[in-house]
Structure 1
Amino acid sequence: MADRSQPSPGLVARGWQVLQVDYSNQADLQFKLAGVDTVISTISGNAQLALIDAAAAAHVRRFVPSEFGGPPSLRPQDDLLDDGRRAAILRLHHLESSGMRYAVFACGVLYERFAPGGMVASQIGLRSDIGQEGDYLMDFRRRRAQIPYLNTAGQPAMICMTSAQDVARFVVAALDLPSWPREFRLRGERMSVRDVVAIAEEIQGRSFEISGHTRSSLQDALTYARAVGDQARETRVHHLISTAEGRYDFVNTNLNQLVTVRPEGFRDWLVRVWS
């Protein structure tokens, strides 16, 4: 079931049950949530806070906030990419006394950032400045890449990645687990950002035009974006800085081992979506 503030004939055509809701109307939200066991949120900001409050009032048992990125513990206090996520987790923590548990699903970077049409082609990140094809790290079609070579420790920058479809499969599989920790970590692949581009080069059979960034060159790019008032460019640079800082990287998983989901590898996925 999907709750949306706007009609979605596309979801209806696929067989989804869609309930249109007013996120500013608590009574409406609570009514629509009556009898729901688990809420999986894909919205952010004040709308998600309203959904959290309504879910707790309607005695929903479990809530999954709209995270689906790097582990929240790796976010800085003044994160410019926060988009209300910290406030949502604080609200969930506060409302645990009402009996509603919550769990974050950290999956790293979605493969769909490198898909034809980008994430928006899969109806993901529609209001994001990294939703379009080529907005993050690599433009497969034009054979270009902007990568931070080293992290803050001077080691190759690493990222964890998972396809959106596999994230959904992991979440569904987790519904059957008897208990939930505060955070599930899952992934399809973990590799250096240079290897991400190397796989794409191998598939294409041609070298990419690569702009390798240092910490200082990323800061220079950020300063320039701010100077010219290019907010979209500023956001894209912030994502590269976050990548260099290891925001999308975690060594250990705890959900891969608990369920039978076998995630698709990045190379296989890239070949499939671009074939």
Structure 2
Amino acid sequence: MKVAVAGTAGLAQHITRAVAEEGHEYPFFLHTKILGLTKSSNQQRPQLAENGFRVIQVDYFNPASLHSALIGVDTVISTVSGAPQLALIDSCLTACVRRFAPAEFEGVPYERPMIEQGRKKIDTLNRLREVKERLQSTAFCCGIFYEWFGPGGLSRSGVSAGTILETTPTSRVFVGDEACYMLDFRNERATIPAYSEKGSDVYACFTAAADVGSFVAKCLSMEAWPEQLRMRGERLKLLDFVRIAEAVKDRVFSVTIIDSEELHEQAIDAEEAEDWEKVSKLEALIAAQRGELDFLGANANDCLPEVKTLSFKQWLSKAWAQEA
């Protein structure tokens, strides 16, 4: 099976490595400067080739470029979003690609508010539904990446790099620096939306990026994909999530519990101030508080028990071991 992975950053590399280990034919990256990668990220291309990865340069706004790269490809896994992802879907149709997985890799689709970022993702999902008779697709839902909470955060891990958001005056680019989301492990602090509007405990699902790669690669062998493939390392109450961090560090953290009303008031104030980075951070907390990052059933785990996932405690201990 010939597989293409759109993007070249951390998550794409985890997926491509796992696909290769499964023995599928020539997994390769679709790479372009249009992805808005940093200078160091654009230098990944020769480094990836040296490590045995095949990289094809494409132009997401040139249909002929995409079409030629996708001829003979069975499955495309996307880690890019926005207009380039929509162009990628159209080229999959012209090149007769059989299956497509959009750049979801977070909470459950259609359970999100219609915020700016959410609308762009819904546009992609709606497009895939329009063409479902010609292009099979699934949303890989994994909740929150463990990598948010390691040294340097999601940014240093590279998992978030390579994702495209439209460039507009109000672009809300949440790059994922250390301590920007719920947990500041280094300074022993946490800010969490621990309770829902009805007062119940808030839960979320969490998964390591490498485990996501393993799940995606194993799912390629499925005869047919369901609309969603949900995977997780752990499902945790947010209060327990903090307690695990405290146990790993053997310290009591300073914990701020922020309620729904305060979250929304802060988000409104940030929007009025056009502080889009703060808006993005608050929307991520609102998503957790609303339960968008939680799911009871994990059908990928059920179907693929051979994928052994890391617990949050295991991952966090290992991630911070070299920082001690």
Counterpart in the other structure of 2:10: none
Counterpart in the other structure of 1:244: 289
Aligned-pair CA distance for 1:11: 2.5
Aligned-pair CA distance for 1:130: 4.5
Report the AA paired with residue 124 of structure 2: A
1:272 aligns with 2:318: yes
Aligned-pair CA distance for 1:228: 3.0
Deviating more after overlay: 8-17 vs 209-218: 8-17
Counterpart in the other structure of 1:66: 103
Q: Deviations over 1:64-95 (max 9, x none)?
A: 0000001102112x223326211111111112
Deviating more after overlay: 145-154 vs 243-252: 145-154
**Contact 1:130–1:236 under 8 Å retained in 2:** no
Report the AA paired with residue 116 of structure 1: P
Counterpart CA distance in 2 for 1:167 and 1:208 is: 29
1:216 aligns with 2:261: yes
Counterpart in the other structure of 1:4: 31
Q: Identity over aligned residues, as a percent?
A: 36
**Contact 1:68–1:108 under 8 Å retained in 2:** yes
Report the AA paired with residue 79 of structure 1: I
SS, match of residue 91 in structure 2: helix
Aligned-pair CA distance for 1:269: 0.4
Report the AA paired with residue 256 of structure 1: N
Q: Deviations over 1:44-63 (max 9, x none)?
A: 00000000000111000100
1:101 aligns with 2:147: no
- For 1:114, which of 139, 149, 169 is the aligned residue? 149
Report the AA paired with residue 59 of structure 1: C
**Contact 1:44–1:83 under 8 Å retained in 2:** no
Counterpart CA distance in 1 for 2:307 and 2:132 is: 29
Counterpart in the other structure of 1:152: 197
Counterpart in the other structure of 2:300: 255
Counterpart CA distance in 2 for 1:247 and 1:152 is: 14
Counterpart CA distance in 2 for 1:29 and 1:175 is: 22
Counterpart CA distance in 1 for 2:271 and 2:279 is: 7
Counterpart CA distance in 2 for 1:67 and 1:238 is: 16
User: Unpaired runs of 5+ in structure 2?
Assistant: 1-27, 34-41, 164-172
Aligned-pair CA distance for 1:21: 0.5
Aligned-pair CA distance for 1:207: 1.4
Report the AA paired with residue 207 of structure 1: V
**Contact 1:114–1:133 under 8 Å retained in 2:** yes
SS, match of residue 69 in structure 1: coil
Aligned-pair CA distance for 1:223: 2.7
**Contact 1:45–1:85 under 8 Å retained in 2:** yes
Counterpart in the other structure of 1:80: 116
1:170 aligns with 2:206: no
Counterpart CA distance in 2 for 1:161 and 1:226 is: 29
Counterpart in the other structure of 1:47: 84
**Contact 1:129–1:135 under 8 Å retained in 2:** no
Counterpart CA distance in 2 for 1:226 and 1:197 is: 29
Counterpart CA distance in 1 for 2:132 and 2:267 is: 39
**Contact 2:110–2:122 under 8 Å retained in 1:** no
TM-score (ref. length: structure 2): 0.81
Counterpart CA distance in 2 for 1:140 and 1:13 is: 35
Aligned-pair CA distance for 1:230: 1.5
Q: Deviations over 1:143-193 (max 9, x none)?
A: 111101201332111100101100010000111112211111111100111
User: Unpaired runs of 5+ in structure 1?
Assistant: none
**Contact 2:183–2:242 under 8 Å retained in 1:** yes
Report the AA paired with residue 80 of structure 1: E
**Contact 2:143–2:204 under 8 Å retained in 1:** yes
- For 2:64, which of 5, 27, 31 is the aligned residue? 27
- RMSD of aligned Cα (Å): 1.4
Report the AA paired with residue 133 of structure 1: E
SS, match of residue 172 in structure 1: helix
Aligned-pair CA distance for 1:96: 2.0
